[in-house]
């Protein structure tokens, strides 16, 4: 009885599968396509190319913050609230305020509060949820006064030591997107 050596099957599978994997858009392209027609805070429409520009940090300052807020999935900071925040915050404080809201409540998505997306407990009041104008003034003044430079220690204080590593990761990610 003659014994013949079998050919390996993996080269055939590789030839059939790899072209399909190469045709799929990258994760970055999938993510930016999702926002290709996202309405800007002022009513303008951003194309995929413009969102790619934001992702590469060519839009800076307030424009970069607006685009980040507008493109954040299911965030509850709308253009009017962002405009209100910008009247009380300087550019760097506004960036931090938006990043804190992202880390704390996914820009309001994970809270039932109407204005307090920061977990800000004025006077220890855990139900603190004033009108938006009052909240905008309070959060901008508070962050600028008490948390101008977030360090590991101030983050532990702000979060009550509740998962500060994850909070810091999300905060830094949000800052990098603006």
Query: Using one digit for the tens of pLDDT, what is the confidence trace for 137-172?
Result: 999 999 998 888 888 888 888 887 778 888 899 999
Residue 93 in any domain: the answer is yes
What are the angstrom distances between the C-alpha of 156 and each of 6, 87, 127, 147? 62, 28, 21, 12
Indicate if 112 and 79 belong to the same structural domain.
yes
Indicate if 36 and 112 belong to the same structural domain.
no
Q: How confident is the model at residue 95 (pLDDT cuts 50, 70, 90)?
A: very high
Number of other residues whose CB lies within 10 A of the CB of residue 28: 10
Tell me the C-alpha distance between 51 and 98, whole Å: 18
Residue 141 in any domain: the answer is yes
Indicate if 126 and 85 belong to the same structural domain.
yes
Residue 65 in any domain: the answer is no
Indicate if 90 and 36 belong to the same structural domain.
no
Indicate if 76 and 130 belong to the same structural domain.
yes
Higher pLDDT, residue 149 or 43: 149
Task: Output phi, psi for 39, to 5 deg.
Answer: -75, 130
Residue 67 in any domain: the answer is no
Q: What is the C-alpha radius of gyration for the chain, rounded to an integer number of angstroms?
A: 23
DSSP secondary structure code for residue 147 in this structure: -
Domain that holds residue 42: 9-59
- 48 pLDDT higher than 90: no
**Structure pTM?**
0.66
Residue 144 in any domain: the answer is yes
Sorted by sequence, the CB contacts under 8 Å of residue 160 that are 6+ apart come out as none
Provide the domain count of the chain: 2
Indicate if 173 and 86 belong to the same structural domain.
yes
Indicate if 91 and 174 belong to the same structural domain.
yes
SS3 state of residue 130? coil
Indicate if 80 and 126 belong to the same structural domain.
yes
Q: How confident is the model at residue 117 (pLDDT cuts 50, 70, 90)?
A: very high
Q: How confident is the model at residue 45 (pLDDT cuts 50, 70, 90)?
A: very low
């Amino acid at each position: 009885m003659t014994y013949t050596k079998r050919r390996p099957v993996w080269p055939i599978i590789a030839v059939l599968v790899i072209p399909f994997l190469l045709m799929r858009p990258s994760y970055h392209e999938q993510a930016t396509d999702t926002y290709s027609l996202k309405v800007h805070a002022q009513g303008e429409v951003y194309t995929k190319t413009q969102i790619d520009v934001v992702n590469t940090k060519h839009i800076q300052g307030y424009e970069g913050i607006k685009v980040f807020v507008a493109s954040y999935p299911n965030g509850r900071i709308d253009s009017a609230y962002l405009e209100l925040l910008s009247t009380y915050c300087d550019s760097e404080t506004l960036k931090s305020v938006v990043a804190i809201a992202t880390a704390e409540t996914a820009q309001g998505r994970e809270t039932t509060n109407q204005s307090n997306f920061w977990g800000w407990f004025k006077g220890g009041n855990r139900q603190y949820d004033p009108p938006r104008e009052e909240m905008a003034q309070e959060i901008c003044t508070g962050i600028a006064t008490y948390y101008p430079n977030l360090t590991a220690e101030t983050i532990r204080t702000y979060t009550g030591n509740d998962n500060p590593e994850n909070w810091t990761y999300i905060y830094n990610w949000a800052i990098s997107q603006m």
